[in-house]
Amino acid sequence: MNIVVCVKQVMDPDTPISAFVIDEVEKKVVPAQGIPPVVNGYCENAVEAALQIKAQEGGEGTITILSLGTDFVMDVMKKPLSMGADKMILIQDEHVAELDAAGIVNVLSAAINKIPDVDLVLCGQQASDWDNAHIPMGIAENLNLPCITSALNIEHTGDKLLVQSALPDGYQTLEAPVQSLITVNNLFGEPRYPTLKGIMQASRKSPEIWSISDLGVSSSELEPFLILSELKIPVSEGNCEIIEGEDDADSGRLLALKLREEKII
């Protein structure tokens, strides 16, 4: 089975809040000094899912990592290759910064169409930078693929996939054609650590670098529907209130009442 995994390079979500800076005039997040970006966590889960499917197939097939961005840090982006993916295609283009979700969906869809013999597309459920979760479903819509979200397990049986998909209070098992798009999050399980051998093998693989103009996407497909008019860091206010009762038990009861009053519990 040939699998494409869409992967995004994001700002490290563990960046301390003191290092999180935005440029309100340019309406951009300023990359934190000295803190390298990371591969989006859910995308790593999606890579893990792809590796497990490939292992089920006895190692047959190809896992291609696909990413879109203005600038890539290769130390970071090679991680999926070090984990065991076979190939990587990076769509590196300065115009990416001007795209909204619809434009990104159109570019990624065109790129997937350009990759030969793709069976399955896997995506992280959402990216930890903006948390929009727009892209996977947009790609599925564009490519007319069935879409299953939040996979817990993916099994290839005959010409079908059996996918356990998480629900708020359990899971459902869905049958889907192999040609599908499936999103994955942390519920799938921990992504493996790259091994030293994996890193050394990945060092011999060079990513293919594409630009948007290679993909035959029309300018109208790149035109943003959404305009970012303002970007602000929310102002957070702290307030401390001491709840005092007649004894510890009474204090606890009053605290619980207060929390319920504030709709926290």
Partner 1 sequence: MLDYYNVLDLLSSEERQVQSVVRDFLDSEILPHVADWWEKAEFPTHLITKFGEMGLLGANLPAEYGCPQVNNMTYGLIMYELERVDSGFRSFAGVQSALAMYPIYKYGSEDQKKSYLPNMAAGLTIGCFGLTEHEGGSDPDQMKTTARKVGESYLINGSKMWITNGSIADIAIVWAKDEDQIVRGFIVPTDTPGFTANKIQRKMSMRNSITSELIFDDVEIPVTNILPQAKGLSAPLACLTQARFGIAWGSMGVLESVYSDALSFSNIRSTFDKPIASRQLVQDKLVDMVVDHTKGLLLATRLAQLKDAGKMQYQHVSVAKRENARSALNGARSAREILGGSGITLDYSVIRHMLNMETVDTYEGTHDIHTLVIGRDITGQNALV
First to last CA, the chain: 47
Give 81 or 107: the residue with its C-beta nearer to partner 1.
81
Q: How far is CA 154 from CA 51, 55, 127, in A?
A: 11, 12, 21
CB of 17 to partner 1, least distance (A): 15
Taking the C-alpha atoms of residue 155 and residue 146, their distance in angstroms, rounded to an integer, is 16
Give 16 or 116: the residue with its C-beta nearer to partner 1.
16
Residue with tokens 């050394």, as numbered in its chain: 200
**193 counts as binding partner 1 under rule CB under 8 A:** yes
CB of 34 to partner 1, least distance (A): 9
Give 172 or 206: the residue with its C-beta nearer to partner 1.
206
Interacting span for partner 1 (CB under 8 A) from 2-10, 92-100, 114-122, 187-195? 187-195
Name residues contacting partner 1, limited to 55-114 (CB under 8 A): 74-75, 78-79, 82
**Cβ-based burial of 85 (10 A; exposed 0-12, middle 13-18, buried ≥19):** buried
CB of 199 to partner 1, least distance (A): 5
How far, in whole angstroms, is CA 125 from its chain's centroid? 6
The total of other beta-carbon atoms located within 10 Å of residue 197's CB is: 9
The total of other beta-carbon atoms located within 10 Å of residue 161's CB is: 24
What is the chain's percent helix, strand, coil content, to nearest 5?
35, 25, 40
Name residues contacting partner 1, limited to 125-164 (CB under 8 A): none
Binding-site member from 17, 25, 196, 235 for partner 1 (CB under 8 A): 196
Interacting span for partner 1 (CB under 8 A) from 120-128, 168-176, 197-205, 218-226? 197-205
CB of 18 to partner 1, least distance (A): 11
Give 65 or 161: the residue with its C-beta nearer to partner 1.
65
Nearest Cα neighbor of 156 from 58, 37, 65 is: 58
DSSP H helices, the chain, are: 41-56, 74-77, 79-83, 101-114, 135-143, 196-203, 219-222, 248-261
**195 counts as binding partner 1 under rule CB under 8 A:** yes
Cβ 143 vs Cβ 113: under 8 Å = yes
Number of residues that bind partner 1 (CB under 8 A): 14
Interacting span for partner 1 (CB under 8 A) from 54-62, 86-94, 173-181, 199-207? 199-207
Give 51 or 202: the residue with its C-beta nearer to partner 1.
202
Binding-site member from 16, 58, 169, 197 for partner 1 (CB under 8 A): 197
Give 9 or 150: the residue with its C-beta nearer to partner 1.
9
State the residues that interact with partner 1 by CB under 8 A.
74-75, 78-79, 82, 193-197, 199-200, 202-203
